[in-house]
Amino acid sequence: MVKVLRKALLEILTGALPLTTSQQVRTLPILQCVHLHCENGVLAVTAYNVDVWFMASVPARGEKFSACVEAKLLHEAVRGKVAVGEMVEVEAGVGSNTLALKIGNMDVMLPTWAVEDYPAIPNFEKDGKWKESGEWELGAWHEAAAWVSMAASADRDRPLLNGVFFTKGQMVSTDGHRIHMSAPLGCTLPTSELVPLEVVESILAATKKGTPHESINLERNNRYSRFSTGRKKFVYEISTNRFPPCEKVIPERNGNFVGIDGTKFAQMVKQVAQENKLLVSFEENSLELRSWADAKYDKSLEITDEVHKENCDWLPMVIGVNAKYLMEAVRGALVYVWFTSELTAIRVERGDGSMAFVMPMRLD
């Protein structure tokens, strides 16, 4: 029997879950599992989804054992309201295909898979020693990555867009319809790197936004990159894909310019938009949001009173835009938005120095 702190185990399983439920393991049941191995007072947890290795460990008390169990089932058993200092008792049934858990007054039996069927962790250092490439404050990294990764493509058949690009001290992502670009994070990598979306999502799931006094590190060797924070490590093969040159579609500061409370603006967009489509209309001195459903204006909301024009004369225009993308771009404190033309990306500058660019939709 092994005893481990429930809160620590839950945090690790939450980080492993995005890998074990990803699209590429749906037909590979063994990779929907986490590998558990307890030895010398440490419980090691490993997850793998063909592209990314997740490795973490927590202090544990008890005898040596190994087991493979479906990550989703184990996570569901461990999650819930956690009392301070609460322990989980784990016992692998000798000669049986079960893993027994005791959590408070609850006993859980989970089926296990053959340990020998789980892929062995490669010797990553045979491709060179790890060299530190960058270090960030975890809270700032978490906040920037959570917002930037919204714009990354979830389509694995588009590997150039299925990730977050680290370059010139910033994070950038795009799905071809919008771009999110973080403010400089104070650490410039020696070389630019495209980090797979599933790595970013796993790190976000395994860490807390407001974790104080904790950092996240990036190391590289000749073949692999490794993010580390606390006892959690994410290893993946360095991508050779070239991120598209987004600067070609980024508009300058020109056109109709407004300053507005981002959270309030996002609420207005949500109130008006139907079928995720929205029309932004400028007529003389008024700014109006109109719904766009079956080419008919079903709802409208004039928001001129909420806008700071900053001595800018508006040009008449009507721009079609994806409402969800616009809401995710502007949500926050005061934002500044440039509407250049019906065929040009909408430029959004946020109070923290980050920027978004949302491509317009055709009106015909």
* Two structure tokens written together for 209: 């936004």
**Model pLDDT, residue 264:** 85
Q: Helices (DSSP H) in 62-221: which residue ranges?
A: 71-78, 138-148, 197-206
**Model pLDDT, residue 125:** 86
Helix, strand or coil, per DSSP, at residue 45: strand
Q: Helices (DSSP H) in 273-344: which residue ranges?
A: 323-330
**Model pLDDT, residue 60:** 92
263 with 337, same domain: the answer is yes
The reply to whether 364 falls in a domain is no
Phi-psi group of 310: left, alpha or beta (phi > 0 → left; psi -120 to 50 → alpha; rest → beta): left
Residue-level length of the chain: 364
| Element containing residue 271 per DSSP (H, E) | helix 262-272
List of residues 6+ apart from 174 with CB closer than 8 A: 151, 152, 153, 161, 180, 244, 246
14 with 112, same domain: the answer is yes
Of the three residues 102, 117, 132, the one that is the final residue of a domain is: 117
- CATH number, domain of 107, equals 3.10.150.10
Q: Write the CA distances from 81 to 10, 84, 104, 364, integer angstroms.
A: 11, 10, 11, 52
Helix, strand or coil, per DSSP, at residue 106: strand
Per-residue pLDDT of the chain (364 residues; tens, 9 = 90+): 899 999 999 989 998 998 898 888 888 999 999 999 999 999 999 999 988 999 999 999 988 889 999 999 999 999 888 778 889 888 876 556 889 999 888 889 999 999 999 999 999 988 889 998 889 989 889 999 999 999 999 888 888 899 999 988 899 999 999 999 999 988 878 888 899 898 898 888 878 766 667 889 999 999 999 999 888 999 999 988 888 888 888 888 877 888 888 888 888 888 888 778 888 888 766 778 887 765 454 555 676 666 666 555 678 888 999 999 999 998 877 888 888 888 899 999 998 899 999 999 887 6
The reply to whether 363 falls in a domain is no
226 with 207, same domain: the answer is yes
Q: How many domains are contained in the chain? A: 3
Burial of 231 (0-12, 13-18, 19+ CB in 10 A): middle
196 with 290, same domain: the answer is no
**Model pLDDT, residue 295:** 46
68 with 87, same domain: the answer is yes
* Two structure tokens written together for 304: 């001129």
How is 190-226 classified by DSSP, letter by letter?
SS-EEEEHHHHHHHHHHS-TT-TT-EEEEEE-SSEEE
Of the three residues 225, 246, 267, the one that is the final residue of a domain is: 246
d(CA 358, CA 345): 5
Q: Which residues of 324-335 are buried (b: 16+ CB within 10 A; e: fewer)?
A: bbbbbbbbbeeb
Domain residues for the domain of 278 are 250-358
Q: Write the CA distances from 48 to 20, 128, 247, 251, 334, integer angstroms.
A: 7, 21, 35, 41, 41
The reply to whether 163 falls in a domain is yes
213 with 260, same domain: the answer is no
95 with 139, same domain: the answer is no
List of residues 6+ apart from 76 with CB closer than 8 A: none
Could you tell me which residues are beta bridge partners of residue 172?
165, 181
Determine contact, residues 310/257, Cβ cutoff 8 Å. Answer: yes
